[in-house]
Amino acid sequence: MTYDFDRLIDRRRTDSQKWQTYGPDVLPLWIADMDFQSPEPVIRALRERVEHGVFGYLTFEQPEFHQLFADRLLKRYGWRVSPDAVVLIPGVIPGFNVAGRVLAASGDGVILQTPVYPPILRAAGNMGLTREEALLARRPDGSYEVDVNAFAAAIRDRTRFFLLCNPHNPVGRVFRRDELERLAEVCLRRSLTIVADEIHCELTYSGHRHTPIASLDPEIAERTITLMAPSKTFNLAGLKCSVAIITNAALRERFVAARVDLVSTVNVLGYTAAYAAYRDGQPWHDGTLFGRGGEGFVRLNFGCPRATLTEALDRMREALMRDRPARV
Ligand SMILES: Cc1ncc(COP(=O)(O)O)c(C=O)c1O
189-224 pLDDT, tens digit per residue, is: 999 999 999 999 998 887 889 999 999 999 999 999
Task: For 80-121, write each residue's pLDDT tens digit.
Answer: 999 999 999 999 999 999 999 999 999 999 999 999 999 999
More confident site: 262 or 84: 84
Give pLDDT, residue 298. Answer: 66
More confident site: 268 or 321: 268
Q: How far is the CA of 198 from the centre of ligand 1 (A)?
A: 9
Q: Is residue 94 part of a domain?
A: yes
Write out the residue range of the structural domain in which residue 87 sits: 54-281
Phi, psi of 149 (to 5 degrees): -65, -45
Q: How are beta strands 159-165 and 193-197 bridged, if at all? A: parallel
Q: How far is the CA of 162 from the centre of ligand 1 (A)?
A: 17
Distances (CA, A) of 318 to 78, 296, 311, 322: 48, 21, 10, 6
Average pLDDT over residues 166-188: 96
Return d(Cα 49, Cα 276) in angstroms, integer: 11
Average pLDDT over residues 237-242: 96
Distances (CA, A) of 115 to 200, 220, 293: 16, 24, 11
Q: How far is the CA of 89 from the centre of ligand 1 (A)?
A: 13
Which of 89, 199, 259 has most ligand 1 atoms within 8 Å of its beta carbon, as the pocket-test mutant? 199
Give pLDDT, residue 208. Answer: 87
Helix (H) or strand (E) holding 218: helix 218-221
| Cβ atoms < 10 Å from Cβ of 271 | 21
Q: Is residue 18 part of a domain?
A: no
Q: Is residue 232 part of a domain?
A: yes
Q: How far is the CA of 326 from the centre of ligand 1 (A)?
A: 43
Q: What is the pTM of this model?
A: 0.87
pLDDT at 70 over 60: yes
- The count of structural domains within the chain is 1
Q: How are beta strands 109-114 and 159-165 bridged, if at all? A: parallel
Return d(Cα 271, Cα 280) in angstroms, integer: 14
Q: How far is the CA of 123 from the centre of ligand 1 (A)?
A: 13
Q: Is residue 34 part of a domain?
A: no
The amino acid that residue 255 corresponds to is F
Smallest CA separation from ligand 1 atom 12, residue: 199
Q: Output the ligand 1 site: residues, CB below 6 A.
A: 32, 91-93, 117, 165, 169, 197, 199, 229, 231, 237, 242
Q: Is residue 324 part of a domain?
A: no
Give pLDDT, residue 324. Answer: 63
Q: Is residue 161 part of a domain?
A: yes
Return d(Cα 269, Cα 285) in angstroms, integer: 20
Residues, the chain: 328
**CATH number assigned to the domain comprising residue 211:** 3.40.640.10
Q: Is residue 25 part of a domain?
A: no
Atom of ligand 1 nearest to the CA of 168: 1
Quickly state the pLDDT bin for 291 (edges 50, 70, 90).
very low
| Cβ atoms < 10 Å from Cβ of 170 | 19
Give pLDDT, residue 142. Answer: 87
- Residue 123's contacts (CB-CB under 8 Å, 6 or more residues apart) are 96, 97, 100, 110, 129, 163
Task: For 216-237, write each residue's pLDDT tens digit.
Answer: 999 999 999 999 999 999 999 9
pLDDT at 302 over 90: no
Q: Which of 102, 109, 101, 106 is nearest to 157 (CA)?
A: 109
Task: For 32-63, write each residue's pLDDT tens digit.
Answer: 888 888 999 999 999 999 999 999 988 877 89
Mean pLDDT of the chain: 91
